[in-house]
Chain A
């Protein structure tokens, strides 16, 4: 596949290695997209199982199931897995599958880089979780136990789990950068004739901003964890106060990456949510330009607000005020987006198939996440909320509801296109209602215990929090188990089911719906002309 003539030759015959070699060597954007999505689903279950261990421990006050050390490890690794190995690969998987189809490109711009980008992920996931297994054989004391934020001095004192996590983050970072470069080049260079930038589907726009954020901020994280590594082993003192270093510096570096990361996870979702809305409201997207500009505004603001993650670490008042107001300013472009989403539905002839259910639920729940974020951005209030369960509930509203439930909407929306079969609609709806209700059951109590002062990342709690924690754990187990319905529905949809039409949804708009379901292995070898 190294020369263009072979690539051209290929589309008439569709020959490629079969079995394992097909997946190891593939440069096809649909194959790679499928691998990303599969990997993401597996890691979603792994990360979910870890947090169910945590919720089981928190079901009752006192220590029942595990030692505090293991508790700390599970919390940090759960977060790293969900962010880097579940949400980000899911977004990249959709990008691989859908961006070439949406912009009328034959494939991603850099297919072999694409293959590398994916195959870096499994080793990184293994590196991250290996210390758990090693500890069983008496090597080391388990995985990273600092929480996903790696704060020194704890991360400087930690065991080999920290080193494994640092190398894992390096590899995950390289993978994200490769994927991002590929997406930027694809969107800039591979669009079909007539597909101008302001005609791009919003999903491509959202991903373009995400990709730029990743390229600009992942190296900062890589740099920060590298400094941590040299502090641990090579006698440098970037963050080690003993030699004149400053642990707070790490927090600045980490959140310079970490805050944009939040929008990196969300922008692709903000991209395809309007597309789902227009499909099921049977109306064109409202405020396309406003949404594109809002994406840019959020992207730009996201890199200048980082210090609101550690208001309590000590900052001069002017700095506190700056970070408070700039953080609150992000709600302005987001309010524009919320308005556009609602206006897209307004007076539409709506129908509520599973993707639409997830999308409408997503708007409400993500809205709660956003509003509770505004409360946290308030410097005066944050002193009370910092490091409490209020924060945990807030970021799960943004990242589980806003991230994962958004991705689920995407899965149900595009699964018939990708597999050629309709999924089971009844099961899908059941999955939505179980997920939405048990999600709220899990996290609403956490707002209250947080306000009452229950600190996060602690394996035990005061007795007055017992009832709320029991409700929360019950919700978490229902939430976890209902995801098995999701997995079952996906697998049975891949295996068979009612044949999907090319357009799949009555109101679907965009180039991907002009292709057969499933699309041929090589699509758009003759680029369509967009008018």
Chain B
């Protein structure tokens, strides 16, 4: 009887030890879940997977213009829920040579009766073109503050890098305007 009791308590100890070891797997995969966030962001910025473009001005303007190619750039403007603005591009699309600097204008109007701050977030499709759309000047670099009823014309100056992959002839630049203040 006593011998058997010993054996049982030994087994209980072994069970506990194994259970704690398994908890390390749990902790490891919880850590893995959070580690995936920076990993994903790095992967995306290297490959342009999720269409995120650079959000600061390019200072080096390529002088070389590739006259042989024409690329069409379409503009999409979206206002997210919670922001009472009208927002649209003045020209829906432009066709340009890679390397050629182009300027377009986006119009935004605050339709509410109070001052509102918004932030535009850009995205480019197809994803592999996102690294090749270079902005020199963009309203998305800073927050935009609009008084009640105010209308603003906002400039965007950009060029398409001549390294744009051969099979991309058309790309879409989309802006989503978010309310910059959380309600």
Residues of chain B within 8 A of A249, CB atoms compared:
36-37, 40
Cα–Cα, bound, A190→B143 (Å): 63
CB contacts under 8 Å to B, within A242-262, are: 242, 244, 246, 248-249, 252-253, 256
Question: Given A181-B19, A189-B18, do A215 and B49 touch, yes or no (CB 8 Å)?
Answer: no
Which residue of B19, B26, B33, B50 is within 8 Å of A248 (Cβ)? B50
Question: Given A314-B125, A316-B47, A316-B128, do A238 and B33 touch, yes or no (CB 8 Å)?
Answer: no
Cα–Cα, bound, A218→B44 (Å): 25
Which residue of B8, B22, B41, B81 is within 8 Å of A184 (Cβ)? B22
Residues of chain A within 8 A of B81, CB atoms compared:
157
Shortest CB-to-CB span from A236 to chain B, Å, is 10
Cβ of A185 within 8 Å of any chain B Cβ, yes or no, is yes
Cβ of A315 within 8 Å of any chain B Cβ, yes or no, is yes
Shortest CB-to-CB span from A130 to chain B, Å, is 26
CB contacts under 8 Å to A, within B77-127, are: 80-81, 119, 121, 125, 127
Question: Given A8-B4, A242-B80, do A222 and B25 touch, yes or no (CB 8 Å)?
Answer: no
For B81, the closest partner residue in chain A by CB is: A157
| Contact residues of B: prevailing secondary structure | helix
Cβ of A177 within 8 Å of any chain B Cβ, yes or no, is yes
Cβ of B176 within 8 Å of any chain A Cβ, yes or no, is yes
Asked if residues B33 and A110 are in contact (CB atoms below 8 Å), the reply is: no
Cβ of A219 within 8 Å of any chain B Cβ, yes or no, is yes
Binds A, one of B9-17, B66-74, B144-152, B156-164: B9-17
How many chain B residues have a CB neighbour from A under 8 Å?
44
Cβ of A5 within 8 Å of any chain B Cβ, yes or no, is yes
Cβ of A346 within 8 Å of any chain B Cβ, yes or no, is no
Shortest CB-to-CB span from B80 to chain A, Å, is 7
Cα–Cα, bound, A216→B1 (Å): 40
Shortest CB-to-CB span from A165 to chain B, Å, is 18
Residues of chain B within 8 A of A223, CB atoms compared:
30, 33-34
For A212, the closest partner residue in chain B by CB is: B25
Asked if residues B5 and A4 are in contact (CB atoms below 8 Å), the reply is: yes
Residues of chain A within 8 A of B58, CB atoms compared:
none
Which residue of B8, B44, B119, B128 is within 8 Å of A8 (Cβ)? B8
Asked if residues B22 and A185 are in contact (CB atoms below 8 Å), the reply is: yes
Cβ of A379 within 8 Å of any chain B Cβ, yes or no, is no
| Contact residues of A: prevailing secondary structure | helix
Residues of chain A within 8 A of B179, CB atoms compared:
242
Asked if residues B33 and A246 are in contact (CB atoms below 8 Å), the reply is: no
Which residue of B15, B22, B27, B29 is within 8 Å of A217 (Cβ)? B29
Cβ of A172 within 8 Å of any chain B Cβ, yes or no, is no
For B16, the closest partner residue in chain A by CB is: A110
Residues of chain A within 8 A of B12, CB atoms compared:
4
Residues of chain A within 8 A of B4, CB atoms compared:
8
Cβ of A188 within 8 Å of any chain B Cβ, yes or no, is yes
Cβ of B23 within 8 Å of any chain A Cβ, yes or no, is yes
Residues of chain A within 8 A of B23, CB atoms compared:
181
Cα–Cα, bound, A189→B16 (Å): 10
Cβ of A113 within 8 Å of any chain B Cβ, yes or no, is yes
Asked if residues A314 and B127 are in contact (CB atoms below 8 Å), the reply is: yes
Shortest CB-to-CB span from B46 to chain A, Å, is 12
Residues of chain A within 8 A of B30, CB atoms compared:
219-220, 222-223
Which residue of A113, A219, A315, A316 is within 8 Å of B33 (Cβ)? A219
Asked if residues A246 and B127 are in contact (CB atoms below 8 Å), the reply is: no
For A313, the closest partner residue in chain B by CB is: B50
For A244, the closest partner residue in chain B by CB is: B121
Asked if residues B80 and A220 are in contact (CB atoms below 8 Å), the reply is: no
Cβ of A7 within 8 Å of any chain B Cβ, yes or no, is yes
Asked if residues A224 and B33 are in contact (CB atoms below 8 Å), the reply is: yes
Cβ of A292 within 8 Å of any chain B Cβ, yes or no, is no
Question: Given A184-B18, A184-B22, do A189 and B11 touch, yes or no (CB 8 Å)?
Answer: yes
Could you list 12 examples of A-B contacts with CB < 8 Å?
A: A110-B16, A220-B30, A220-B36, A222-B30, A223-B30, A223-B33, A224-B33, A227-B34, A246-B50, A252-B36, A253-B33, A314-B51
B interface residues, Cβ below 8 angstroms from A: 1, 4-5, 8-9, 11-12, 14-16, 18-19, 22-23, 25-27, 29-30, 32-34, 36-37, 40-41, 44, 47, 49-52, 80-81, 119, 121, 125, 127-128, 176, 178-180, 182
Q: A109-B19, A223-B33 are in contact. List 20 more A-B contacts (CB 8 A).
A: A4-B12, A8-B8, A109-B15, A181-B19, A184-B18, A184-B22, A185-B15, A215-B25, A218-B26, A220-B36, A223-B30, A235-B182, A238-B37, A241-B121, A242-B119, A246-B52, A252-B36, A253-B36, A256-B36, A315-B49
Q: Which 3 A-B pairs have the closest CB atoms?
A: A223-B33, A242-B178, A219-B30
